Structure 1
């Protein structure tokens, strides 16, 4: 199987005025978003189909992308979510027995405007020194627009800070994945951009996984009689998700066991009364070292987040929102960012990274077991009372 390589011109424009001419890749046209870089050398299909990347133009730091094509078994969701795609050297050949189509064909099918043939190292260095920026990819007729007009279009695009994107990525109606193995009970999953690997890991621990739209109420959650609640990963600014924070506080008030991943970690932080803030250029890749303070173990983990929780890194502190004692359970070793929270007086914890790790290392997969054990312990307490 061969991939189509274009010689049509395209240009990446950043909001600081820098320009990177290259070749059109994927669909033709104009796309706008926050330009971010992902450091994984593998797993581009999982990256592209991760709903957390909605609203972002993703740059792959690995230079050679597309050699294994795209297949129908590995997507993390129902479509490609990135706003745009930047690669240096797209593969001319698709060489994998599982491939159904080329990456370029998949980008075209989902209308994803991309660019290839640029110095991705230079763009990454600029973002690392200046911080994440809005950008635009212009190809087809848009590549011929005046440079000043292209820059004006980029600067008129919305910033990621303050954006609520949950409604764009969430399911429209509830979906259920039955438990495999010994059944524990129903699990309410608030879909803020949940990944398929997360659903599979939860079902494998004995939960009937009820994936719920992001606008459900506490009464909707009560209606499925859940043994626990889970908040998924997702795109956007946690400070713009006040309704999800209030819903989570209702869950915590009822002492339903809670586990959150990525965006879910940020929302637990806000529900407990802590703030959140935007990172200069975020964590995106499958090689990030994290310390689990509970075990003292350093794990290599998969990340995709541009915001973080602002909480004390050491010791126990009182929840500013009145939920008892809280501790930071995991710390990022590259920059000392909060990577996990654990409530000590209510059954709730969360992590900022991705224990489902698709693609990526499986060092943190034990967290799904930790969640299952917490739920079973809470059930045992109720049975004994």
Structure 2
């Protein structure tokens, strides 16, 4: 190697070392910038300044010396089991029906879903709260962008590991702060796998979420009130009639049994003008003013909404039928109006991974579900049954447990599904069902538009005798 080659090699080596030495600094600066943008509780602070005092989100309270301390909590099942943990929500106890969800994401949507009203929600996803809670921002239709209603609907929540530090660009507060602000108790540090095994093997059970120093005392709970004995539909439904997107090209009457915001969004975003009615409103009195009828989801036992069932039975018999579509409880109410009964599932179907098979084409869709009751649809398999002879048939069937996932009429524009096609926070495989329903409603509008609104009376010609042909 010549002298010039050796010099060039040494020069390149020195340049390489210089670049390599500079890379960690560049990478470190990029990391610090990302952390300052994404992490809520950042430990990096400017030089020569004291570190900020730590901010303790719920579940922390403070002792007499100002030190944070955990508040005991316990989930007590009616079947006798007790699960001890730590509170991270409101410091008050509550009762409800313990149910579990297999959803991996979407806890803000699940907790604000009116279908969870009266229930203590157990999350099978171990880590909950890691992306905080978003704001109450609304979209162009005046609907909440990140929630399914304007408040937490479940009675309480149970998680394995609560993330005290959250990280998300839409977050404005922690999950614990949100629960505490809305008066919802929450517990972490429990074995949710064991709880789910109990609920799967023995069925959903009543429970108490006990908060405070006395929570761990072995005291038997005297009574477990059953929320399903209340009319939860009436509690969740709107009390007043209101309109959304009034300039839409097709008019839909929606019966609110506990409707989710994203159901409303899926309708108005497709151009529909939606009028929302309370669950017990007699929509048959005004149905001629609309192009379609929609029955929403809702909480609890569908047999508490028999007024809606009777109104639907009347709508099925109208000479001028309107397209009718139902979701979740809407499926159960339409089935009951047709003549079917309902039963309570052992532990319900709640999550974003439920397979539903379309009986018309054999296709299986992954769906989002949240229900504890189902239709008894065995009679629809018998072609000689009265329901089958009236034209009703199965629409979708759950591939896991064989339970009903929807019904439809063979000749009339009536159909419903047990799952949630809108699936905010979940799969959107079946969102096309909104298009199918609105296409029927638009066809109904075109049909009615071709009819005259009134028929003018024919005036007789004065002085001309009327000829009678014998």
TM above 0.5, yes or no, is: yes
Which residue in the other structure is 2:276 paired with? 211
Residue 5 in structure 1 maps to residue 37 in structure 2: no
Which residue in the other structure is 1:234 paired with? 298
What is the CA distance between 1:362 and its match in structure 2?
Answer: 0.6
Residue 263 in structure 1 maps to residue 329 in structure 2: yes
Which residue in the other structure is 1:296 paired with? 362
In the TM superposition, 1:14-93 aligns within 5 A as 14-72=77-135, 73-93=145-165
Aligned residues of 2:85 and 2:190 also touching (Cα < 8 A): yes
Q: CA RMSD in A?
A: 2.1
Which residue in the other structure is 2:252 paired with? 187
What is the CA distance between 1:62 and its match in structure 2?
Answer: 0.2
Per mean C-alpha deviation after superposition, the further-off stretch among 314-323 and 260-269 is: 314-323
* Structure 2 segments unaligned to the other structure (5+ residues): 1-39, 42-56, 61-69, 136-144, 452-470
What is the CA distance between 1:374 and its match in structure 2?
Answer: 1.9
Q: Distance in 2 between matches of 1:282 and 1:41?
A: 17
Q: Distance in 1 between matches of 2:285 and 2:152?
A: 29
What is the CA distance between 1:370 and its match in structure 2?
Answer: 1.1
Cα 1:189–1:169, aligned 2, differ >3 Å: closer, same or farther? same
Cα 1:115–1:101, aligned 2, differ >3 Å: closer, same or farther? same
In the TM superposition, 1:212-361 aligns within 5 A as 212-218=277-283, 221-222=286-287, 225-254=289-318, 255-312=321-378, 315=381, 317=383, 320=386, 324-361=390-427
Q: Distance in 2 between matches of 1:269 and 1:123?
A: 33
Q: Distance in 2 between matches of 1:319 and 1:361?
A: 35
What is the CA distance between 1:142 and its match in structure 2?
Answer: 5.3
Q: Secondary structure at the match of 1:211?
A: strand
Aligned residues of 2:86 and 2:189 also touching (Cα < 8 A): yes
Cα 1:44–1:55, aligned 2, differ >3 Å: closer, same or farther? same
* Structure 1 segments unaligned to the other structure (5+ residues): none
Whichever of the two has the greater Rg, that structure is 2
Q: How many aligned positions are there? A: 377
What is the CA distance between 1:384 and its match in structure 2?
Answer: 5.8
TM-score, normalisation: structure 2 = 0.76
Q: Secondary structure at the match of 1:240?
A: helix
What is the CA distance between 1:238 and its match in structure 2?
Answer: 1.1
Q: Distance in 2 between matches of 1:76 and 1:383?
A: 35
Q: Distance in 1 between matches of 2:383 and 2:331?
A: 17
Q: Distance in 2 between matches of 1:45 and 1:318?
A: 46
Question: Whose strand proportion is higher, 1 or 2?
Answer: 1
In the TM superposition, 1:59-208 aligns within 5 A as 59-72=122-135, 73-140=145-212, 143=215, 146-148=218-220, 151-154=221-224, 157-158=225-226, 160=228, 162-178=229-245, 183-208=248-273
Cα 1:360–1:311, aligned 2, differ >3 Å: closer, same or farther? same
In the TM superposition, 1:354-373 aligns within 5 A as 354-373=420-439
Q: Distance in 2 between matches of 1:74 and 1:262?
A: 21
Superposed CA deviations along residues 263-312 of structure 1, whole A, max 9, x for unmatched, are 00000010000010000000000011111122321111100000000013
Cα 1:166–1:142, aligned 2, differ >3 Å: closer, same or farther? farther
TM-score, normalisation: structure 1 = 0.92
Q: Distance in 1 between matches of 2:367 and 2:331?
A: 15
Q: Distance in 2 between matches of 1:97 and 1:229?
A: 38
What is the CA distance between 1:253 and its match in structure 2?
Answer: 2.3
